[in-house]
Structure 1
Amino acid sequence: MFLLIQLLSIIAHDSKAFEIDPNGYILYCPCMGRFGNQAEHFLGSLAFAKAVDRTLALPHWVAFHFGVIVPSKTPFDRFFLVPPLMQYHRVILMSDFMEHIAPTVWPSHRRIGFCYGTENGNVSECKMKQGEPSTSFWDNFGISFVGSEFFTAKGLSVSGGDHHRGSTWKHVYPPDKYPVLAFRGAPADFPIRKEHEPLQRYLRWSVDVREQANDFISKELGGRPFLGIHLRNNVDWPNVCKDLTPRWHIFDSRQCLGENFEHSVMTTEICSPSEDTILRQVRETMLRTGLRVLFVASEVDHMIGKFSSKLKDLSGEVLIKGREPDDPQVSLCILAKASLYIGNCLSTFSTFARRERDVYGLPTEFWAMNYTSNPLKNEL
């Protein structure tokens, strides 16, 4: 399988891969939020590209860093393999598009930006490069725009629920006149639509990310079955959980509450679980499952000492590990391989691991929800 992936990667960068697509291309800036949000937008954009039958340019991932005004940009294939995506639809790295395709089909004088809204006296352009990360994202590829298109003014939508959008988009913006649709933001719904979640199967970690994850599991976790948890305990997160409405969805809350709140209503503990809730649930989960290895993913506080104190009296050797520094992508890859995973119901970062685990039929639980059965009783 590894050799096949390498071969496909070589083929993907062969000169034939840069033949011009007569159906046109889609570009967009992943300008909303951090990695979890960008990943949800990517899957929706991939579905949109297939619906309108245009090749999707794979954008760089944007990362924000404390105290740094301009966010960093990471090429798409640093984190994910390109060939598996081609099994679903046509894609090309954005850098390859700009180098091999854009000079022919999208010269500088034809670069139109697409955005929501209606042109009127107050708004006459899409403002594709306004603030960060949009300015540095487009500048990174040497792209400036000479005009704007307000697609909603022409009755068009990027919503995944519009099943007739493909033919409509082709009619309004034929590829011979508009070879590139460059969107100010992702042409996708947020949060992700349920029907787009299965596209996660085409999002495969790069060899480098997988090797780092497997190496950590082997050397630091001893290759043993483990409980993986994600702590969304950043200083900004409590603000998300203020003034919650019990029957009002926020971010990815449908995944644990249910579409119609059939599993629970929103609570502060579900949104931002207290340390007491986290410690108690981890202890109860280990007693319920027999797992004795804990992997903690967090950007801020891994609570290693507190877990050690809470779990010290459990039978058997308890191993507790986190990564320092905690590389988000490697941690997600590790969480996806856990025997059991506990994530934050609302967090799009947590959701990424849950979607990947769904692909492989692995169990996921959420903080502050009540679980009594052992999902691993036939595995351990």
Structure 2
Amino acid sequence: MSFSKLFFTIFFHFLIFSTVNSIDDSDISIDPNGYLLYCPCMGRFGNQAEQFLGTLQFAKSIDRTLILPPFIEYVDYKVTFQPFENIFEIDHINEYHRVMTMNDFLKKLSPLIWKHENRSITCYDSRHFSTNNNNKKEGCNPFEGSPFKEFWHHLGVQEFPLGSLYYKPLHTDYNYANDWRQKFRNVTVLALVGAPSSFPTNSAAVKLSKYIYFTKNIMEKANKYRMDRGFGQKPYLAVHLRHGIDWIRACELIHSNPDLKQLFSSQQCLGDKDKQHRWLNNRITFDLCYPSFEQIIDGIKSSIQSYNNQDEVKRNEKQPIQHIYIATDLNNESMWLDLNQTLAKHFSSSSSTLTLITPTLTLNTIDGTFSEYKKPSPHFLIDLYLLSHSNSFIGNCISSFSAFITRYRLYRLHFFHTTHFFSFHRPNSVHLRDEL
């Protein structure tokens, strides 16, 4: 290296570090290994949360600090953003690998190491959105499509002056870590147009759910809602019920593809290619995706009986489950009335009553009475917390939202025996090894 280049390098690093030290309230130093930034632009919360685990694993493998993106929400058909740190605690994730909030990065480091003129965007290969060959632009085209454009603009990024970088033929897999480190060793902030993780993510990344902790704010809001609905401090069965029209259309893919091996998060029930064995002969059945009314009743009945037959409950050391909390994508009040009436018949010999808590109704199985809950339905994060921390849970094998809850219960809380699925009876050997 020539003397002039050496002098410039030393001066540049001196300038950066002296500037960092001059930032008010800054306890952040620059990571010499660089940073990883990405757009969580695939699907809703369940998909984004699953790809986050794969991305966290990937960031550790290439030894870059992961910049935590906001979660993307769709409210009244508009793209909105929820800061990561508003939902999950950062300190616990840092126990596994270095992470920092997007807000800290943009305010404290971006002016130093990711200035406008130094920005590039990375993708596998050129992405084309125009059907007109004359209008096709080569490059990652990070502002094409929603929510890509909204995401980068939310960060204050209007363009990437250094253009596009491609990681082809590499894959976003920790097995390619050395190749990634070598290929992008001169890129301080590696900004990716999408999450560097497969969907569904690999089974090793799933176990990182043990580092996921809800914030105190989410916990307090969920517990307040629980008190408002009348089941605070009481054991409850939580049910995640997908039966909206969009979900039904997705489930119909099973009818048109009878040999389908994987759909959304089906691996949480059937296993995946990383497992030595799969179950049900690899087949995804329609019932796994869209259980019938009878199967919903059977699932609720079986889960409650399983919990209430525990020795601790029989000895009155634990209260039995008498409340059922339903989180759903379709608030079908006529279905809740039918559900309440049918459960009343199944539990007619029980000395205690069951109470169904739906988004807008609270129903009593003994006398069939119900009351309306006239406040707005809870934010989905309240549902997420209450489903995750329930005494017993029934989820949907195909749903990525259910998959988040399942992972959290298995690896964070170790609630294996009280985590169930509609229309699927998981062998006891499955996941037990993973839980240890």
3-state secondary structure, aligned to 1:64: strand
In the alignment of these two chains, the number of paired residues is 352
Partner of 1:378: none
What is the CA-CA distance between 1:123 and the residue it aligns to? Answer: 5.7
Q: Which moved more, 1:187-196 or 1:212-221?
A: 212-221
Unaligned runs of 5+ in 2: 1-22, 309-320, 360-375, 429-436
1:339 aligns with 2:391: yes
Task: Confirm whether residue 289 of structure 1 aligns to residue 342 of structure 2.
Answer: no
Instruction: Summarize the Cα distance change of 1:238–1:119 in structure 2 as closer, same or farther, 3 Å threshold.
Output: closer
- Tell me the residue number matched to 2:19: none
Preserved CA contact (<8 Å) 2:122 2:191: yes
CA contact (8 A) 1:24 1:178 kept: yes
Q: 1:304 aligns with which of 324, 333, 336?
A: 336
Equivalent position of 1:321 in the other structure: 357
Q: Which residue of 2 aligns with 1:128?
A: 142
- Conserved? CA contact 1:304–1:321, under 8 Å: no
Distance 1:287 1:262 in 2: 25
Change (3 A) 1:371 1:95: closer
What's the offset of the Cα at 1:119? Answer: 8.9
Q: Partner of 2:105 in structure 1?
A: 97
* TM-score for the superposition, normalised by structure 2: 0.76
Alignment partner, residue 189 of structure 2: 180
Higher CA-based Rg: 2
CA shift for structure 1 position 246:
4.5
Give the Å deviation of 1:346.
0.8
Q: 1:191 aligns with which of 190, 200, 209?
A: 200
1:262 aligns with 2:279: yes
> Which of residues 53, 57, 60 in structure 2 aligns to 1:50?
60
Residue by residue over 1:1-40, the C-alpha shift from the partner in whole angstroms, topping out at 9 and shown as x without a partner, is xxxxxxxxxxxx9945421111111110110000000001
Mapped partners of 2:426, 2:336: distance in 1:
23
Query: What is the CA-CA distance between 1:370 and the residue it aligns to?
Result: 4.1
**2:400 corresponds to 1:351:** no
**Of 158, 162, 167, which aligns to 1:151?**
167
Range moving further from structure 2, 296-305 or 199-208: 296-305
Q: For residues 93-144 of structure 1, what are the alpha-carbon distances to aligned partners after superposition, in whole Å with 9 as ceiling and x for unaligned?
A: 1121111101111111111100012699966210111121111111011112
Tell me what 1:206 maps to: 215
Q: For 2:341, give the aligned amino acid.
A: S
Task: Name the SS for the 2:140 alignment partner.
Answer: coil
User: Structure 1, residues 324-365: CA drift from partner, whole Å, max 9, x if none?
Assistant: 513211111111111211100010000111011002121311
| Aligned counterpart, 1:252 | 265
Distance 2:266 2:49 in 1: 17
Deviations 1:159-217 (A, max 9, x none): 24x2xx2222121111xx21011000001111021101111111211111111223334
Secondary structure of 2:75's partner? coil
CA distance 1:15–1:170, change in 2 (3 Å): farther
Q: TM-score, normalised by structure 1?
A: 0.86
What is the aligned-residue identity percentage? 32
Could you tell me which runs of 5 or more consecutive residues in structure 1 were left unpaired when the two chains were aligned: 1-12, 374-380
- Alignment RMSD (CA, Å): 2.4
CA distance in 1, matches of 2:140, 2:326: 42
